[in-house]
A and B are shown apart, each in its own frame.
Chain A
């Protein structure tokens, strides 16, 4: 039957087309050598000269870069004493910059495939955050997100995604997802209100945020740890220092308040009150004010503080953390409400790869088991192979669609693939059995099978919908993947499968 054959070709061609498309989506024909930039620190020289996220670095100063090791060796010498010229060849042109510091970018090797694994497989952190004792409006939530983004960026965390989520009960959350390894102080970083105040007596001289503080030095000799002392029995203390620039208004404020002060009786080179620094209403540091600063509208101020620990390294690390936190809130300013962490997951990247391999192994074993079960029941190797190939192509197309839409595969998504393949096999068995009934024409039999399948498809589809919103969307991956999977099954793989079965049955 010529017509039937044509139709058969069309359905099978569609499947082949989708399989090829998925392969292309997963393994793009991109033979660019080099490493990819995952993030560029804002305001850095690299950013100013045009390095951007997603660019691929091919060579540095004429040396080909094909691995992270190459990259590290080529820039090993930084930071240097004086500025040096660096020529970076990227896939989007050559960028030349002069610097004595590191590039302030993070990079990764270009992945061989575009399947992204979720945090629960590849490691990272996830946090759900709420305002304490109040519901956030959409604008407040937006502000919260931009402040948090800035804080994490200032802190040096770049592979970060922050988005608002609303759940079925109408709660508003901020969802933070950070890929890769996460700092131990993440909790403080994302949950602190970040109210910074510099006070003399009861009067506030300046606050954190751009209104009062126009610049915070974070690199070079303007910022860093300058001394450590102590011993093994009493512990160590390390001092940090960094300079900031005040706005004219804040400087005037400083002048007015210091004019009213007297001289310190025991330390006559200083004024009688200290500049006290408060972070979320806790005193973190108190600085003496030099007499030469009295009544002066100074815009340059040096902030100092300290960190302590049992060993010198620990003290150094703590001082560094304290300094970074202080710098972060000085730049990003305060939030108008207190925050509460509702959920915090930090997943170690240690198990990831093995985990993924075990899941692939389990998936293949399950599909193989299906093949054997089909072989036992129908005693035809061709039918069994057809089921195997259909199921595998469903997995492939689901992965292809995920890669195409940049969706990452987490555990719920993998459960979704399993669910989709499971119902897929069910439908294939229905097609197999219907096609073997002899009372009506083969075309009619396949049509009947597809009616049943359409019924089960629509029911499952609707049953999955509520999960898109329940539980702050954390199980959305499951719902979306299953929906993609069963849709691929109904519209692409099953029609092709029934054509293949028709052919096999006709033989």
Chain B
């Protein structure tokens, strides 16, 4: 419950504070069994399984919780019947005040990035409405992505926030291309739009395909990279919508009123 109070997104333990323990079981561990065992013993937890990409064999189990490493280790050792050491397990813990401060700073970083990006876009186009369209489209990408993540019940990590930053970059790529083609080129707007659309869609679809392939391979071994990829795929999909509907509509309207 701690993570949903009054916040737009659900944060994971890297941003709320807590512990994530990854251990490499000697024998196969049934996740449901572990979950039943932990129920009531640890306040709030998530269990995930990591497996080998090729064989699909269980490689590691990740338990995330808001408790201290020591508390969760004792309970896990009771279940596993052996000691968890720095060799056979990885532990990552973040204090709650640090987590909160990380979150604030990362949000601050995103806002700052966004502002810097907007200023540069205004400098490049020196025209209010088209620049505004680029900024709005990037903003819509971020908000829609965050809303989707929230709907999917994903908890965002500090690495996930870097994905949002990447999204600003990708989003602006296609928008700047579109705006340059439409504003700075002579000739028929519809023709320019058509060619820009072809280029932009190729850009975004190629990115989505490449990231999906990478996600397919990486999801078995890394939560951090998986989350970055999932956020990018969601964000890029919305970018198609926002670039080719939102941004194009504003630009076309702007070009027509200028005539």
Chain A residues near B (Cβ < 8 Å): 120, 125, 128, 167-169, 171, 181-184, 186, 340-351, 354-355, 358-359, 361-363, 365-370, 373-374, 377, 411-412, 414-415, 418-419, 422-423, 425-427, 429-430, 433, 437, 439, 448, 451-452, 455-456, 458-460, 462-467, 469-472, 474-475, 478, 482
Distance to closest chain B CB from A51 (angstroms) = 28
Q: Is B67 an interface residue (CB 8 A)?
A: no
Distance to closest chain B CB from A339 (angstroms) = 12
CA distance A344 to B68 in the complex (A): 11
Distance to closest chain B CB from A352 (angstroms) = 10
Q: For B119, list chain A residues within 8 Å (CB).
A: 462
Q: Closest residue to A359 on the B side, CB-wise?
A: B218
Which of A425, A439, A467 lies in contact with B162, CB distance below 8 A?
A: A467
Residue with the highest number of chain A CB atoms closer than 10 Å, among B104, B202, B205, B209: B202
Q: For A169, list chain B residues within 8 Å (CB).
A: 101, 104-105
B86 touches A419 (CB 8 A): no
Which of A351, A366, A463 lies in contact with B168, CB distance below 8 A?
A: A463
A452 touches B101 (CB 8 A): no
Distance to closest chain A CB from B105 (angstroms) = 4
A460 touches B87 (CB 8 A): no
CA distance A358 to B225 in the complex (A): 12
Q: For B214, list chain A residues within 8 Å (CB).
A: 362-363, 365-366, 418
CA distance A153 to B92 in the complex (A): 24
Q: Closest residue to A344 on the B side, CB-wise?
A: B93
B105 touches A471 (CB 8 A): yes
Q: For A354, list chain B residues within 8 Å (CB).
A: 52, 59, 221
A463 touches B98 (CB 8 A): no
Which of A346, A452, A475 lies in contact with B176, CB distance below 8 A?
A: A452
Majority SS of interface residues in chain A?
Answer: helix
Q: For A348, list chain B residues within 8 Å (CB).
A: 22, 24, 86-90
Q: For B8, list chain A residues within 8 Å (CB).
A: none
Residue with the highest number of chain B CB atoms closer than 10 Å, among A184, A347, A456, A464: A456
In the complex, 18 of the A-B residue pairs with CB atoms within 8 angstroms, ordered by the A residue number, are: A168-B109, A344-B92, A346-B86, A351-B221, A358-B218, A362-B213, A369-B209, A411-B222, A411-B224, A415-B163, A418-B211, A422-B207, A422-B211, A455-B176, A456-B173, A459-B117, A459-B120, A471-B105
CA distance A472 to B86 in the complex (A): 24
Interface residues of B in 106-137 (CB under 8 A from A): 106, 108-110, 112-114, 116-117, 119-121, 124
B158 touches A471 (CB 8 A): yes
Q: Is B159 an interface residue (CB 8 A)?
A: yes
Q: For A439, list chain B residues within 8 Å (CB).
A: 187
Interface residues of B in 161-219 (CB under 8 A from A): 162-163, 165-166, 168-170, 172-174, 176-177, 180, 187, 195, 198-199, 202-203, 205-207, 209-214, 217-218
B88 touches A350 (CB 8 A): yes
Minimum-distance CB pairs A-B, first 7:
A466-B109, A470-B109, A462-B116, A463-B113, A362-B217, A466-B112, A470-B105
Q: Closest residue to B98 on the A side, CB-wise?
A: A342
Q: Is B60 an interface residue (CB 8 A)?
A: yes
Q: Is B97 an interface residue (CB 8 A)?
A: yes
A351 touches B105 (CB 8 A): no
Known contacts: A418-B214, A456-B172. The answer to whether A465 contacts B101 by CB under 8 A is no
Q: Closest residue to A345 on the B side, CB-wise?
A: B92
Q: For B93, list chain A residues within 8 Å (CB).
A: 343-345
